[in-house]
Amino acid sequence: MKKIIITIDGYSSCGKSTLARQLAGRLNYLYIDSGAMYRAITLYFIQQQVDWNKTDAVNNALNNIQLEFIYNQISGQSDMFLNGENVEQMIREMLVAEKVSEVAAIREVREFAVAQQQKMGAGKGIVMDGRDIGTVVFPDAELKIFMTADPAIRVERRFKELYQKNRNITLHEVKENLELRDYIDANREVSPLRKAEDAIVLDNSQLTTEEQLQLVMQWVEDAIMAHSS
């Protein structure tokens, strides 16, 4: 069966990575978590105290960053490695979450990440989620999905996820962080978050993960059929 590229864009905490992982597993495709790449870059900047307001400092730092996804047999998923170190847990912490949209808005950072993402997808058979995958990284993808959900539901989902790791986190903190990330993602100068003209909107406010997967698998089958003729 012909392999295609599936892009999933949308707001934070809409379940993009959950759906992408499910699709990749069902289709035996490679899943590329673009958000993890930006988080790893942000983590490096924080650790190395890089002043990301200075272009020279950013470029010098990027020259020292190597990103790689390595399959984890225990979790059954690919972990993010930064310069040979597994940083999958560290990049999910609030410290990184608070800065990642700011770092991801930098032109040089996006160009660095997009070049790597396009190289990963050269052979097709991939699912990639992010903010600009269907508009910038793979504008010719065979299936583009734009995910959204009610803001209150997104805050609740994100809070539950973070509370497991940090019992001191508050709902108010999570709400403020999501609102800030939404604003930065939608208003940044380089590759802002927006729906591709040919993307299908998926509002999963009232869908279970299984209902969502069944719906999207039908879209995948339709896309494969449409591009096999």
Q: What are 143-154's pLDDT values in tens digits? A: 999 999 999 999
Residue 228 lies in a domain: no
Q: Is residue 224 part of a domain?
A: no
Q: What is the pLDDT of residues 90-136, one digit of tens each?
A: 999 989 999 999 999 999 999 999 999 999 888 899 999 999 999 99
Alpha carbons within 13 angstroms on the beta-carbon side of residue 117 total 29
How would you classify the pairing of strands 143-148 and 200-203? parallel
**pLDDT tens track for 164-196:** 888 999 999 999 999 999 998 899 888 899 999
Q: Is the pLDDT of residue 74 over 90?
A: no
11 in any annotated domain: yes
Could you tell me whether strands 30-33 and 126-130 are parallel, antiparallel, or unpaired per DSSP bridges? parallel
Question: What is the structure's pLDDT at 217?
Answer: 98
Does an H or E element contain 81, and which?
strand 77-82
Contact 15, 210 (CB under 8 A): no
pTM of the model: 0.85
For residue 46, tell me if it sits in a domain.
yes
Instruction: Note whether residue 181 is domain-resident.
Output: yes
Residue 227, in any domain of the structure: no
Q: What is the CATH number of the domain that holds 35?
A: 3.40.50.300
Report the number of distinct structural domains present in the chain: 1
Nearest to 191 by CA among 99, 114, 122, 121: 114
Which residues constitute the domain of residue 70?
A: 5-219
**122 exposure class (CB count in 10 Å sphere: 0-12, 13-18, 19+):** exposed
Nearest CA-CA partner of 55 in 109, 117, 112, 113: 109
pLDDT at 71: 82
Q: 41 exposed, middle or buried (CB, 10 Å; 0-12, 13-18, 19+)? A: buried
Does residue 226 lie in a domain region? no
